[in-house]
Amino acid sequence: MRVVSWEGGSVTARSSVGVSHSVTGAKLRDSYLEAVSTLTFGIARVRDGAIVIGPLTLLRFGTPKITRTSVDWPIEGGLLARRPGGHWRLQASGGLVQATVTGYTPRLPRLLYQVTHLQVHQLFTRLYLLSLRGRDPLPGLPATPDARFRAGTVDVAVCLTLTGFPRRLRLRRTLLLLAAYHAACWSVSGRTLGGLVMGQRVVAVDGSRITPAQSMLRLALIPMSWLTGRPIHDKIAGTEVIADS
């Protein structure tokens, strides 16, 4: 679940994912600090209570308040904040882990923030929450490698046909079509045409529909999975391909 609201120039954004195990406030703190580096491939890090990229301080936090089931950081500034104020809070209760930023005033104008920084924030937060949830149990029976390969073959054939192949093959147009086709299908229903034919769909590891940003990340990482022979794209994007029951 994701909710975004505004009051004046300040934003409140809330995301949550169901979990089947208890998570302490200390665990939330430690796992989040680790996730900043892990989920950004080491580009961003936490140093002296701030999220940094090289010499740049993106966000600076105050001393966190930790309870048995939550951790709350006051936001004290940084390049991404127009002024100090607001909180970043993680809380585990009632079978949910919830991440909430409240009273945060972004430096960017609202429209630009909504299509840039907010999208990155929501993607990162969702991946972090899904990693806390874990992949066990999966939301369904995983599709077999053979079925996944057949579905992918159908999807590539569909996209190549739409671009006019074999009469002509324009790489840029083909790549754009592949990206739009998969992002739309995965984020709307979880099923591409190939998935429909093979009776399978892509879901987040908690069984929910994946977001457009997750779809694009998953698609971008597929070549890495081909090179390594491991489903890296599903592991990083917090997704799974399951067979329709």
> Tens of pLDDT along 171-216?
788 888 999 999 999 999 999 999 999 999 999 999 999 999 999 9
Strand partners for 56: 53
- Segment 88-143, tens digit of pLDDT: 999 999 999 999 999 999 999 999 999 999 999 999 999 999 999 999 999 999 99
- Assess whether pLDDT exceeds 90 at residue 1: no
Rounded distance between C-alpha atoms, residue 99 and residue 60, angstroms = 18
pTM for this one? 0.92
List the chain domain ranges. 2-133, 145-243
- Assess whether pLDDT exceeds 70 at residue 166: no
Q: Which amino acid is at 203?
A: V
Region 149-162: what's the mean pLDDT? 91
Domain 2-133 has CATH 3.30.530: yes
